[in-house]
Amino acid sequence: MEVLSSLFYFIVAIGLLVAIHEFGHFWVARKTGVKVVRFSIGFGKVIWKYQKDRASTEYVLSAIPLGGYVKMVDEREGDVSAEDLPYAFTQKSLWARTAIVAAGPVFNLMLAVILYWAVFMLGETGMRPIVGSIETGTLAAQAGFVEGEEIVAVNNIKAVTWRETMETLLASALDAEEGLPIEVKTEEEGAFITHILVIPLAVSQEPKRLFTELGLKAWQPVIPPVVGRVIENSVAAQSGLQIGDLILSADGSDFTDWIAWVKYVQGHAGQKMQVQIERDGLVLMIDLTPDSVIEQEQIIGKIGVGVQVPEGLRESLMVEHSLPPVEALIAAVERTWYYSGATLKMMGQMFVGKASVENLSGPISIAQYAGKSAEMGLISFLKFLAIVSVSLGVLNLLPIPVLDGGHLLMFAVEAIKGSPVADSVQLVFQQIGMTALLALMALAMFVDIERLFQ
């Protein structure tokens, strides 16, 4: 079911983003007087098509949803009838052709703005970005972070929830070699100070290493080990644990925090424990043997209980954030611009070998992210669509032959020299670009498969 869910949301996401991209080309082509022969979402075998009449555009859905195309009347692709010649792409002015080609990626960036606008207006609920315990020797410790501080802004971008804070931090990691300003509010005085987080390039270019060495984690309150839920027929239920029981100790180890109790249980899978509890003022002894459960390729112990969360604690840790329409639109434009720059910089770093190919995501990873973000709710899925739309827009603007940016480069050369680049030269560059693009796709697939097996 998880695979099917990921596949479904992957098709929805890619279908929408490709449709918007191709619609950009299509709409501007029509507005500039170019006749569009076919508008296709996907490649390969046609599974659905519609055409009002032989003179109108044919709309097509194809079997492979990894792209699309807009076929226009073009003398370079075959003979053009005399009646269609005035509507050919090649007959239009340089500015018109430039606008048609640029429209695809521009529409993707515009979609990202619209999606972020919706996200900011709808608002989201999340954990406040309060810093948890800081381990000695981590990058956070070197920057001077202290447990209990609340992050206010990352690289001058406002931070509202923990998740949003970490997303911005990861997007800014490549800028942190010289120091990344992170503004925080101190717990005791409530003063605002700025920590300068320095992330070496060798760390920032490897996502797994970055998480390990960064050392920033969300604050977790100390919650008394009081049972708030007992799962029916679980080890806890069979041993007599009840809602309201206070865990005092196990095998002589005392507990004052629920997290410490959970870790102890997880570390004693299949091992009998003598647990001391307090119930209605009486101290009782209970024998428990945690079930052995495999999670993330590790065997851990579970007994089937949940914590009793103190009243008002959850509300104090959560924050709801939304913006009025005008402010949301400004924030959406800023967020799209910021992620466009971060994406472009990451691509540049990978091109020169300064960033790891682990930062690449192929169709498998994108499908997984699509499914997981959809499971987390509408806002998460909209944010996923926005960041992929940004990536698609930026990628297509790169001056690589066969991509929109490659065509724009040819138009720039045409503007300088005063005449179109020779077809033979364009063909050579397209072959080079196609080879490079196929190599990149193969590398992304390899990284995807390796990541999947890991």
In the block, which residue shows the tokens 């472009």?
344
Cα gap 24→429, rounded to integer Å? 24
Q: Please state, in angstroms and as integers, the Cα–Cα distance from residue 185 to each residue in 162, 316, 344, 361, following that order.
A: 14, 16, 32, 35
Other Cβ atoms less than 10 A from the Cβ of 2: the count is 10
For the chain, the residue count is 454
The answer to whether the CB of 85 falls within 8 A of the CB of 384 is: no
Strand partners, 184: 151, 193
By the 8 A CB rule, do 48 and 102 touch?
A: no
Q: Quote the radius of gyration of the chain (alpha carbons, Å).
A: 28
> Can you tell me the distance from the alpha carbon of 417 to that of 196, in angstroms, rounded to the nearest whole number?
48
Q: Are strands 124-127 and 318-321 parallel, antiparallel or unpaired?
A: antiparallel
Other CB atoms within 10 A of residue 41 CB? 21
Question: What is the C-alpha to C-alpha distance for residues 58 and 41, in angstroms, rounded to an integer?
Answer: 11
Amino acid at 383: K
Cβ(25)–Cβ(100) under 8 Å? Answer: yes
152, 159 Cβ separation under 8 angstroms? yes
Catalytic pick among 22, 124, 164, 167: 22
- Count H helices, E strands: the chain? 14, 16
Residue listed under structure tokens 């490709």: 18
Q: Is 22 a catalytic residue?
A: yes
Amino acid at 289: T
Taking the chain, what is the end-to-end CA distance rounded to the nearest angstrom?
21
370, 361 Cβ separation under 8 angstroms: no
Catalytic annotation, residues = 22
